[in-house]
């Protein structure tokens, strides 16, 4: 059976393979290289990495370039992510631009940790979008995880505060906080994130804080700029790359890591609670360049 990630990367893979398969075995022309370059850039692999790939193509014959490219790319990717939180208790803040997948990813993560047997709590700290709390109520049921919410306040920090008090008294090990979508240009919303971060550090210092940004694969290179800006306000520990299914832009993991040092920890591959995978560079490269892998 093909893995879900392999299927999700189908569009990216078929455009990349088209370009590579057209290369002439005896002599790789400048036109060939340009075609490969173009496809890699369309897949959001990022200029630096694309340049290194075309250098390898120029230097090595068709016989061994694919192995060399793969070896090189492996050095440019984050390590395999292990979905184990080593320091507990932890508060995971889900941050990111509107619609990138914070709420659904929060629940997907909650389900992963619950399945590990951890005591998990979700906090609904998005007070901006009217339907946000109801959406998380539905998803917390899917994850089978308790939710703290408060429809009566518009103050996310107050909900966060109450939520962590509750987590503390029920000895929760993993708290996942859903926050409102925001653009980095909304200064007041960005300071609100900083405030939430400070509250945890100052008032609940036994909790480690982790900030995860959700990145929508469809948004391409813009996401790298967004992540950079978020990182100026709250230190990002990692990214969840969402909606990889159905995009031909599956290469964004490279510039995120290379330009910002932010490792992709999870990949979102669909709209169900189970549609998430910890990042594995080997599986990811298989998905991009086409080695079928069994589940
Ligand atoms: N196909 C696909 N859809 C996804 C994935 N992750 C999220 N979505 C969809 O993207 C849409 C937005 O997801 P949300 O989780 O609501 O995004 P959000 O960041 O919380 O949005 P706001 O709270 O409005 O900022 C929903 O329709 C999700 O089902 C994914 O990995 N694959
Ligand atoms: Mg949301």
User: Using CA atoms, how far apart are residues 211 and 186, in angstroms rounded to an integer?
Assistant: 18
Q: Which one-letter DSSP state was computed for residue 83?
A: -
Residue 135 lies in a domain: yes
Do 64 and 104 lie in one domain? The reply is no
Q: Give residue for tokens 């300071």.
A: 191
**pTM of structure:** 0.95
Q: List residues, by chain if needed, whose CB lies under 5 Å from ion ligand 2.
A: 102-103
Q: Which ligand is nearest the CA of 101, by number?
A: 1
The best mutation among 99, 111, 149 to test binding of ligand 1, ranked by most ligand atoms within 8 Å of the C-beta, falls on: 99
Distance 120 CA to ligand 2 centre (A): 19
pLDDT at position 20 is: 85
Whether residue 83 is contained in a domain is answered as no
Report the Cα 267 to chain-centroid distance in Å. 6
> What confidence score (pLDDT) does residue 294 get?
38
For ligand 1, atom 10, the nearest C-alpha belongs to: 101
Domain assignment present for residue 294? The answer is no
Q: Which residue's C-alpha comes closest to atom 1 of ligand 1? A: 270
In a domain? residue 202:
yes
Residue with the two structure tokens 């941050």: 95
Spacing, Cα 100 to ligand 1 middle (Å): 5
**Tell me, what DSSP letter sits at residue 41?**
H
Q: Give the strands of the sheet with 146-148, arranged side by side.
A: 146-148, 120-125, 174-179, 90-95, 208-216, 238-242, 264-268, 276-278
Q: Based on the domain organization, do 197 and 226 belong to the same domain? A: yes
Rounded to the nearest 5 degrees, what angle is found at the Cα of 47, between the Cα atoms of 226 and 95? 20
Give residue 136 CA to ligand 2 midpoint distance, Å: 8
CA of 63 to the centre of ligand 2 (A): 48
Output the tens digit of pLDDT for each of the chain's 295 residues. 668 999 999 999 998 888 888 776 677 888 888 999 999 999 999 999 999 999 998 888 656 788 899 999 999 999 999 999 999 999 999 999 999 999 999 999 999 999 999 999 999 999 998 899 999 999 999 999 999 999 999 999 999 999 999 999 999 999 999 999 999 888 999 999 999 999 999 999 999 999 999 999 999 888 999 999 999 999 999 999 999 997 888 899 999 999 999 999 999 999 999 999 999 999 999 999 887 433 3
Report CA(236)–ligand 2 centroid distance (Å): 18
Domain of residue 261 covers 90-289
Tokens of 259: 């330009």
Last residue of a domain, one of 75, 101, 134: 75
Q: How far is CA 52 from CA 5, 27, 124, 257, 283, in A?
A: 25, 19, 44, 15, 21
Using the 3D structure, point to which of 75, 104, 122 is the last residue of a domain. 75
- How many folded domains does the chain comprise? 2
Between strands 276-278 and 264-268, the pairing is antiparallel
Nearest ligand 1 atom to the CA of 97 is 25
Give the pLDDT of residue 295.
36
Q: Please, are residues 78 and 111 in contact by the beta-carbon 8 Å criterion?
A: no
Are residues 202 and 175 located together in one domain of the fold? yes
Long-range CB contact pairs, 197-201, < 8 A, 24+: 197/93, 197/234, 199/157, 199/160, 199/161, 200/91, 200/160, 200/164
274 in the same domain as 151: yes
3-state DSSP helix/strand/coil percent for the chain, to nearest 5? 50, 15, 35
Report helix angle 65-75 to 281-289, nearest 10: 140
Residue 85 lies in a domain: no
Nearest ligand 1 atom, CA 104:
15
- 99 CA closest ligand 1 atom index: 21
What does the chain come to in residues? 295
Query: What does the DSSP 8-state code read for residue 64?
Result: T
**Atom 30 of ligand 1 has which residue's CA nearest to it?**
243
The reported pLDDT for the residue numbered 292 is 44
Query: Do 71 and 96 belong to one domain?
Result: no
Considering the domain architecture, whether residues 47 and 121 belong to the same structural domain is answered as no
Report the CATH number that the domain containing residue 185 is assigned in CATH: 3.40.50.300
User: Which among 75, 104, 137 is the end of a domain?
Assistant: 75
Q: Which pLDDT does position 290 carry in this prediction?
A: 82
Token digits of residue 159: 């909900």
Q: What is the pLDDT of residue 198?
A: 96
Ligand 1 neighbours by CB, cut-off 6 Å: 96, 98-104, 126, 129, 132, 181, 214, 242-243, 245-246, 268-271, 275
- State yes or no: cis peptide before 89, omega within 30 of 0: yes
Q: Please name which ligand lies nearest the alpha carbon of 106.
A: 1
| Ligand 1 geometric centre to CA of 103 (Å) | 7
């Amino acid at each position: 059976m093909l893995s879900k990630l392999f299927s999700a990367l189908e569009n990216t893979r078929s455009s990349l393979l088209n370009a590579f398969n057209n290369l002439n075995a005896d002599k790789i022309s400048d036109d060939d290289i340009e075609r490969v370059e173009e496809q890699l850039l369309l897949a959001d692999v990022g200029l630096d990495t694309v340049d290194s790939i075309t250098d390898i193509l120029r230097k090595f014959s068709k016989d061994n370039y694919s192995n060399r490219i793969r070896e090189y790319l492996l050095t440019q990717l984050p390590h395999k992510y292990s979905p184990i939180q080593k320091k507990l208790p932890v508060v995971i803040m889900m941050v990111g631009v509107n619609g990138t997948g914070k709420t659904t990813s929060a629940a997907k993560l909650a389900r992963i940790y619950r399945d590990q047997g951890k005591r998990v709590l979700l906090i609904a700290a998005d007070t901006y979008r009217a339907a946000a709390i109801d959406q998380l109520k539905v998803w917390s049921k899917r994850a089978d995880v308790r939710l703290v919410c408060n429809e009566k306040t518009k103050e996310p920090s107050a909900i966060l505060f109450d939520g962590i008090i509750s987590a503390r008294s029920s000895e929760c090990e993993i708290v996942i906080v859903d926050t409102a979508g925001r653009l980095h240009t909304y200064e007041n919303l960005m300071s609100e994130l900083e405030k939430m971060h400070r509250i945890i550090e100052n008032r609940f210092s036994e909790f480690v804080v982790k900030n995860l940004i959700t990145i929508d694969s469809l948004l391409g290179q813009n996401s790298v700029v967004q992540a950079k800006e978020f990182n100026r306000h709250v230190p990002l520990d990692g990214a969840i790359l969402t909606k990889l299914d159905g995009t031909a832009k599956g290469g964004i993991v490279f510039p995120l890591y290379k330009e910002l040092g932010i490792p992709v920890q999870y990949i979102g591959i669909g709209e169900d609670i189970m549609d998430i995978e910890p990042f594995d560079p080997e599986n990811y490269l298989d998905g991009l360049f086409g080695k079928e892998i069994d589940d």
